[in-house]
Amino acid sequence: MLRIVLGVIVGFFAWAIVWFGIEQILSAAFPIWYGAPQHAFQEAVENGGQFTAETRLLLSHLVIGSIVSLIAGFLAALIAGENKRAPLILGFLLLALGLLKATMSWPYVPIWYHVIFTASLLPMTIMGGKLKTTA
């Protein structure tokens, strides 16, 4: 049981670290393509301003979210020593946080993005856990 809890915790922190790391790398490497829309979104949220989400940025977030969820699910399964419960619990935790994020950014981002991003968190995390059996 302790290994499952530890797997969920490590998977969660891995998800956050890898997500924010990729965000920082892409913002630095592609300041106009990736960084500027990110900063515009943050300013709009902080100051209550207008923001129109760019589709390319949203699509990149969907890809990044899927990859990071796979990695986190794999790590959770690896640490837990099993590939079912830890990725499932982690997936539900990420889903809860995804729903929180969706409510916070609801007026700024199209509904299709909210639905796809949030709906992909649980299955991608579970799939990452299933990769543990083949690795």
SS3 string, the chain, reads CHHHHHHHHHHHHHHHHHHHHHHHHHHHHCHHHHHHHHHHHHHHHHHCCCCCCCHHHHHHHHHHHHHHHHHHHHHHHHHHCCCCHHHHHHHHHHHHHHHHHHHHHHHHCCHHHHHHHHHHHHHHHHHHHHHCCCC
Q: Which residue has the higher pLDDT, 99 or 45?
A: 99
Who wins on pLDDT, 29 or 70? 70
- pLDDT band at residue 134 under the 50/70/90 scheme: low
For residue 24, what are the domain limits?
2-131
- Band the pLDDT of 114: cuts 50, 70, 90: very high
Q: Is the pLDDT of residue 55 over 90?
A: no
- pLDDT of 50 reads 67
Average pLDDT over residues 73-80: 96
pLDDT in tens, 21-49: 998 898 888 887 777 776 666 766 677 66
Q: How many domains does the chain have?
A: 1
